[in-house]
Structure 1
Amino acid sequence: MLKTRLLPAAGNAYQYPLLIKSLLLSGARYERSREIVYRDLVRYDYATFNERVARLANVLSEAGVKAGDTVAVMDWDSHRYLECMFAIPMIGAVLHTINIRLSPDQILYTMNHAEDRFVLVNAEFVPLYQGIASQLTTVQKTLLLTDGADKSSPLPDCVGEYEALLAAASPRYAFPDFDENSVATTFYTTGTTGNPKGVYFTHRQLVLHTLAMASTIGSLDSIRLMGNADVYMPITPMFHVHAWGVPYVATMLGVKQVYPGRYEPDMLCRLIREEQVTFSHCVPTILQMMLNAPSAKGHDFGGLKVIIGGSALNRALYEAAKTRGVQLTAAYGMSETCPLISCAYLNDELMAGSEDERTTYRIKAGVPVPMVDAAIMDEHGELKPHDGETQGELVLRAPWLTQGYFNEPEKSEELWAGGWMHTGDVATLDGMGYIDIRDRIKDVIKTGGEWLSSLELEDLISRHAAVREVAVVGVPDPQWGERPFALLVLVDGQQLDAKGLKEHLKPFVEQGHINKWAIPSQIAVVTEVPKTSVGKLDKKRIRVDIARWQESGSEFLSTV
């Protein structure tokens, strides 16, 4: 251990803990009159928001919630959710953000595994909750969330309705200090096999993540996505990695915040227009859904800046958004990383380059943000050179990475093998620090002994004018081991078959972007590509669907 110089602190010196409550105090300090907006139903200022957080803390405490208890939330994106993101951890409890798009059995598993004691339930999810209530093993009380006038609901063990309880509670609460390493939040991430895994984050981790994100999206000139004069609306569910942690940043800065509830394309477009939203974030499929909404036709989104994460940002979507006035910026992270790891950044050298080169780097995973260490590791645990060519698994170190999976020690050890967090992503790192994600390890296609990137193929295929959406997976092949298979959603009125796709990809072969054996010999045109609960391409389900179609000799398969 390195010997360093330590000096004693004054006996009365205050040891400032990094707690979420410190983030709450700043917003009202800067902009007390800025608004928190929920759809077209609710709006109030930051001063009121702080009072409501205190009221909620009183409601929970009076209902028996204690420090260390896990309090779950089942709601769409709302002002209530934002209040829970502060009030619950600020009283020392743990916020469990339930993924309401999971199956009832998966939701039941996550609630029992997380040992939820108290659950806030949107009236829309009461039937779902009733269906699993008898199998919940730790829940003691519930609280009803409503938008409409009807405040009554057959919710088991209910202490009352949210707004009525808040109205009767005190607007003051003395939030205590406690250990900054106390767990603040937990949620569950799904994989290709097995039950969902619980990740968790401490107050210290969330505060450091908030500060790093604020400096990244607000201080780097080639990014400059959100300052406190912007208007923010998440289009990433609040149950998914705290809406990528941006609500904490927005609240700390006193940014006007708009919460859309259930994601309805027309409502999203309306709120962007009427509330003058300037900054958001989402996965590619959600952005495509919004841009293709009837209410978006003819609308100029000029001034809207959007971070794209969760899945690779391809050039076709970048260009399509740009023509509508939307500035896209790629970023990288995952549930286990809180999530921000890197963000597209253009240094002076790249800014002086061509527009094509700038676009190439805007759609990469980007440069690690402050306090993140990234490396490339081979299958033997050896670190590889950062030359932009050598591929390996991307491994990470940062102060806000989850320290393990809740109550799953073996999987936790796998996650942190060798003292680095393993992402499961194949990537390269270059001399300038740029991360280029090539594929998920489980999604890399091995054909004839060569590795193909499904992400690269998706990017090239998406550039065809007829293609609205594409997913590429490897399917078994008796001769080559695997062959790439493309699932396509076409633009209305357009047609494309496997032969036409081959002709589209030939120039990329001639230019050396891909090898000729990377061209899919079989495709399927569908009306929708399967998605996961958070809007990513569901490649596990896609492989199952393809196998079924091939067995049945489906007529909509096209083969070269």
Structure 2
Amino acid sequence: MDSTMMDLPLTLDPLFERAETLFADKELVTATATGIERTNYGRWAERTRLLGGALDDLGISASGRVATFAWNTDRHLELYFAAPCSGRVLHTLNIRLFAEQVTYIANHAEDEVIFADRSLLPLLWPLVDTMSTVRHVVVMDDSGGGDAAPEIPDDSRIIDYEDLISAASPASFRVASETQAASMCYTSGTTGEPKGVVYSHRSTYLHTLAAMLVDSAGVCESDVIMPVVPMFHANAWGLAHAAVAAGAKLVNPGPNLAPKPLAELIETERVTVAAGVPTIWMGVLGELEGRDVSSLRAIPCGGSAVPKALSEGYREAVGLPILQAWGMTETSPLCSIAHIRSGQQGLDDDAKADLRTTVGTILPTVEFRICEPDTTNELPRDGESSGELHVRGPYVTGSYYNRPDAADSFTEDGWLRTGDVATCDPNGYIRLVDRTKDLIKSGGEWISSAEVENEIMSHPKVAEAAVVAVASERWMERPMACVVPVEGETITHDELIEYLTPRMARWWLPSATRIIDEVPKTSTGKFSKKTLRDRFADLVVE
């Protein structure tokens, strides 16, 4: 028996039109090099339709890839909707990748045009001749016209963004198929070449609704959303789409992601939801003293494990702990979020803090299981049994774009192998033990580098720490701590071991400690343990 429901495609154009018609007066704020710029959804929608017409004028093919090389701005948001709603595919290029990776990705995706912020042109322009399919570079002038603005090359391929849309006619948006590609994003490529994930209109629509669930990020019309997470990183975790769909005020931090300006934006714009990676919030915490940030209701954090000390630091400073979430480029990305369930509200502060170090419970839009390595044998949800985390769902990718080796990342029965080692307790809280490639096997037993890091970072003299495996004459591998001390402090290996000894099994204790100036980061702000492993590849401990 069939239903009597209308069969309408789940596409992004109705979400765009909702903001355009119902919330035309709601603010869009962008922090620029010269100050705060303000517009609203009404003017934004007009410009987005003009941009859709401009893509026609540029001769971008029906499903052409429209690349961006830009910060979080209202113009970038215009591209977020003009490209997919006109039938094209938005492709956000990661500005922090190595030059060779940017070239590889642009060629692999077959980008036809790149929309670039002027401030980023010195990074992009030297690569343009290596990009075989790029015909145009459209420059969005974010410089404010100052003397320090990067020079724009005299080249026929370069077009000014404002000139382009001022000469265009507004487009009518109507996407016929929900399975049509809406956007694509590439993984950061920490091992091997970056892999492309292609999001459909349907998957993006459903992920947008998931971000609006109360037990998720709960994005709603009364919110003021500030995605510090870049718009080139997994679609800004879906917050840009959700803000538009809900009609929420959106605050774009632009290029300056230093702690002080971010803290000022939270205070002056009365931000309610501010989302970013742990390294961002480590810096911002020290800038919140004396500020009125009472508007905040949630501080979503992802990309890497949130140290307990960081989350508790926010709870003590502003009365609001970090809200840890988990997902991947491959999962659009929201999969789970660490809200304290009603049944655990009576726990003491320490027990709640421990729960916040998990990635919480799975969202109703995603399924998960934890399996024995390289099998589909599901492990019990007892909080102890650890295995590889598998997920599936309507906004989880089922393959990679044009990659013959994609099958290696999926199980025989079609689940995504996340590469995360996890446990799940009887209440459904998922705890990430480590990445499979970051586990340390010492004397045949596994050590979680992530758990050791969390304990190290709870030391009051430690600003950042990463734990990696180094060679051992006796145990094959042993953990080594790479520690960044708090400014003005010093810490020794013996001091660290004395602190850690009551907090973990003795055989988990690092065999060596190296003091470093900074933990190297990947393009998305995660700790780059591969860089550290390469740096200390010749070190051998007992």
**Alignment TM-score, normalising by the size of structure 2:** 0.93
3-state SS in 2 of match to 1:200: strand
- Residue 84 of structure 1 and its aligned partner are, at CA, apart by 0.6
From 334, 337, 346, give the equivalent of 1:340.
334
Verify: 1:153 aligned to 2:149, yes or no: no
- Residue 296 of structure 1 and its aligned partner are, at CA, apart by 4.6
Any idea what the Cα deviations from partners look like across 1:264-323, whole Å, max 9, x if unmatched?
33322222222121211111111112234xx55543533422111110111100111222
Matches within 5 A, 1:86-165: 86-147=81-142, 148-149=144-145, 153-154=152-153, 156-158=155-157, 160-165=159-164
Letter in 2 for 1:273: E
* Aligned residue number for residue 517 of structure 2: 527
* Aligned residue number for residue 437 of structure 1: 432
Distance in 2 (CA, whole Å) between partners of 1:176 and 1:319 is 47
Distance in 1 (CA, whole Å) between partners of 2:258 and 2:350 is 34
CA contact (8 A) 2:270 2:293 kept: no
3-state SS in 2 of match to 1:376: strand
Letter in 1 for 2:199: F
- Residue 224 of structure 1 and its aligned partner are, at CA, apart by 6.6
From 368, 376, 392, give the equivalent of 1:374.
368
* Aligned residue number for residue 85 of structure 1: 80
Matches within 5 A, 1:444-523: 444-508=439-503, 514-523=504-513
Letter in 2 for 1:238: M
* Aligned residue number for residue 528 of structure 2: 538
Aligned in 2, Cα 1:195/1:517: closer, same or farther, shift over 3 Å?
Answer: same
- Residue 112 of structure 1 and its aligned partner are, at CA, apart by 0.3
CA contact (8 A) 1:388 1:430 kept: yes
- Residue 196 of structure 1 and its aligned partner are, at CA, apart by 1.1
**Alignment TM-score, normalising by the size of structure 1:** 0.90
From 243, 249, 253, give the equivalent of 1:260.
253
Any idea what the Cα deviations from partners look like across 1:474-505, whole Å, max 9, x if unmatched?
11111011111111111122221111111111
3-state SS in 1 of match to 2:102: helix
CA contact (8 A) 1:17 1:180 kept: yes
3-state SS in 1 of match to 2:76: helix
From 187, 212, 224, give the equivalent of 2:185.
187
Letter in 2 for 1:515: A
Aligned in 2, Cα 1:504/1:406: closer, same or farther, shift over 3 Å?
Answer: same
Distance in 2 (CA, whole Å) between partners of 1:212 and 1:308 is 17
Verify: 1:395 aligned to 2:390, yes or no: yes
CA contact (8 A) 2:357 2:431 kept: no
Letter in 2 for 1:176: R
Aligned in 2, Cα 1:120/1:192: closer, same or farther, shift over 3 Å?
Answer: closer
CA contact (8 A) 1:375 1:395 kept: yes
* Aligned residue number for residue 209 of structure 2: 211
Letter in 1 for 2:293: F
What is the CA RMSD across the aligned residues, in angstroms? 2.1
Aligned in 2, Cα 1:226/1:205: closer, same or farther, shift over 3 Å?
Answer: closer
CA contact (8 A) 1:334 1:340 kept: yes
* Aligned residue number for residue 351 of structure 1: 345
Aligned residue pair count: 531
From 12, 16, 27, give the equivalent of 2:8.
16
Letter in 2 for 1:271: L
Distance in 2 (CA, whole Å) between partners of 1:198 and 1:274 is 38
Percent identical among aligned pairs is: 37
Distance in 2 (CA, whole Å) between partners of 1:177 and 1:378 is 42
- Residue 99 of structure 1 and its aligned partner are, at CA, apart by 0.3
* Aligned residue number for residue 168 of structure 2: 169
- Residue 157 of structure 1 and its aligned partner are, at CA, apart by 3.9
From 50, 59, 63, give the equivalent of 2:45.
50
Distance in 1 (CA, whole Å) between partners of 2:175 and 2:290 is 52
Distance in 2 (CA, whole Å) between partners of 1:328 and 1:87 is 34
Distance in 2 (CA, whole Å) between partners of 1:347 and 1:543 is 38
CA contact (8 A) 1:142 1:157 kept: no
Any idea what the Cα deviations from partners look like across 1:499-532, whole Å, max 9, x if unmatched?
1111111222xxxxx3111111210112211110
3-state SS in 2 of match to 1:117: strand
Distance in 1 (CA, whole Å) between partners of 2:537 and 2:404 is 35
CA contact (8 A) 2:238 2:333 kept: yes
Aligned in 2, Cα 1:277/1:453: closer, same or farther, shift over 3 Å?
Answer: same
Structure 1 portions without partners, runs of 5+: 509-513, 552-558
